[in-house]
């Protein structure tokens, strides 16, 4: 059941370690994103674009190293020692993981990645149908 929607800009400069000299200028934007995401339920379904269609599992961990800083992020709380080997994740999954870690560390996110050449209305209807049938309160 869909219970909330949050829209996050997909700019890696939201992550202060990547913003460099612009970190202070972007602090208010980052704070607004985190404040909005903190209102989402504990189960997230993120939607973004990437090179190919994919579903990124909540157990995946990634890093922003390709953007200039080894900021490690996860889509769910880490079990055990918390040292997971990062895998390559699309930017939409990295940003979802970073926002989750800042706003709702106890939350779990699954990321639906779509190649940008798909028809958005059809994908939207598909996601809506999936969320309507779920008894779990989810935020998008």
pLDDT in tens, 1-43: 667 777 888 889 999 999 999 999 999 999 999 999 999 999 9
Residues 6 or more apart whose CB falls under 8 angstroms from that of 76 comprise 58, 59, 100, 107, 108, 109
Q: CA 108 to CA 19: how far, in whole Å?
A: 26
First to last CA, the chain: 11
Residue 41 parent element (H or E): none
Question: What percent of the chain lies above the pLDDT cut of 70?
Answer: 83
Question: What percent of the chain lies above the pLDDT cut of 90?
Answer: 64
At residue 122 the predicted structure's pLDDT band, cuts being 50, 70 and 90, is confident
Of 127, 126, 60, whose CA–CA distance to 96 is shortest? 60
Contact criterion met (CB below 8 Å) for 74 and 56: no
pLDDT over threshold 70, residue 105: yes
């Amino acid at each position: 059941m869909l219970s909330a929607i949050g829209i996050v800009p997909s700019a890696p400069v939201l992550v202060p370690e990547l913003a460099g000299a612009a970190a202070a200028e972007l602090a208010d934007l980052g704070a607004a994103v985190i404040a909005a995401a903190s209102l989402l339920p504990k189960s997230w379904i993120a939607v973004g674009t990437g090179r190919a269609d994919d579903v990124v599992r909540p157990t995946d961990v990634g890093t922003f190293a390709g953007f200039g800083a080894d900021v490690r992020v996860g889509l769910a709380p880490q079990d055990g020692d918390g040292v997971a080997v990062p895998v390559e994740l699309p930017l939409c999954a990295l940003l979802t993981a970073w926002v989750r870690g800042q706003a709702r560390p106890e939350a779990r996110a699954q990321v639906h990645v779509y190649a940008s050449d798909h028809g958005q209305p059809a994908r939207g209807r598909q996601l809506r149908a999936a969320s309507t049938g779920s008894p779990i309160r989810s935020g998008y």
